[in-house]
Structure 1
């Protein structure tokens, strides 16, 4: 065998080995590409799932926020209506006149008088009701009209000998009735 043959055999072996290495490299490259594509697909699916979950979560938050805002607006509207109703009641109480006003004022004074056992008693009332209250006080011994009192009507009665003070104004009666019946008033107004 000649040197040329040996060289040619070595070259053939080197070419075969190079071809084998190249094929192994291409096969390994194909495997790496397949793994990378699979990883990319998994990553894409995971990202899509995350995005869908985030979109759903944001939608739920927006919906919840909108519901809360609507509920707050509804409560504000109800509160405004209740305030309007209360304002109308106050206006009607302030504008009561004649026998109706006298009957209510006398009744409130009678109830307050039960707390006092004689002595000098001072009765305060709305300035516009001074003449009415003074007429009613003619039926009570030791009772006199004092200073005017800022209210819708009714009386504030106090003893000059003790610290007893009874607030029987339309305002105080309305406050008690309003608080006691607010739920029913609300139910009637809003059909709950």
Structure 2
């Protein structure tokens, strides 16, 4: 009986150690699973936060891009309108008869020749009769413009461009802000 008892104790002790090892192994497994689950949840939250941040950034970039495109389109349309108004003004002035333009052409001739001792006044053929020639000046009806005139010194060293295109360009550049405000209601 002594041997059986020793064998039973060894078996019992082995069984006890086996249960302890299995129990500790199960606890370790549960700890590892819990830690892994916690790490996975933390990683998922990090990914979710990063994804939300990226989506928000992409949304903001898309919105900014759309706003920029809208502003570009508005500016393009406003520039087209400004150009259209400018062309309309030039068409209106240049479509007037020489008789209607006579007072303006005479003022332009006086302005252009002031300070010059003589020279040439270039004008359109149809406006030639509407311009009184100042002393020591001659008219040359060779102007290829919508109207107005160009005064030139006799030696060609001085030239004043008072064509309608040049005058409108000058007035336009000096007053573009006011023109914009009139057309579009503010800056």
Structure 1 runs (4+) deviating above 6 angstroms are none
Contact 1:82 1:186 in 2 (8 A): yes
Q: 1:61, 1:19 → 2: CA distance?
A: 61
Contact 1:123 1:143 in 2 (8 A): yes
With normalisation by structure 2, the TM-score equals 0.93
- Aligned partner of 2:124 in structure 1 is 126
- Aligned partner of 2:162 in structure 1 is 168
| Displacement after TM superposition at 1:125 (Å) | 1.7
| Displacement after TM superposition at 1:131 (Å) | 4.0
1:51-88 deviations in Å (ceiling 9; x for gaps): 11111111110111111011111101100110110010
Of structures 1 and 2, the one scoring higher in RCO (CA 8 A, sep 6+) is 1
Q: 1:161, 1:190 → 2: CA distance?
A: 47
Matched, 1:184 2:174: no
Contact 1:124 1:147 in 2 (8 A): yes
Q: 2:156, 2:67 → 1: CA distance?
A: 56
Within 5 A, what are the aligned runs for 1:24-173?
24-118=24-118, 121-133=119-131, 136-137=132-133, 140-146=134-140, 148-161=142-155, 163-173=157-167
Contact 2:152 2:158 in 1 (8 A): yes
With normalisation by structure 1, the TM-score equals 0.91
Q: 1:117, 1:142 → 2: CA distance?
A: 7
Contact 1:108 1:169 in 2 (8 A): no
- 2:13 aligns to what SS in structure 1? helix
Consecutive unaligned residues in structure 1, runs of 5 or more: none
Q: 1:97, 1:147 → 2: CA distance?
A: 16
Q: 1:94, 1:156 → 2: CA distance?
A: 15
- 1:115 aligns to what SS in structure 2? coil
1:69-114 deviations in Å (ceiling 9; x for gaps): 1111110110011011001001011112143311111110100110
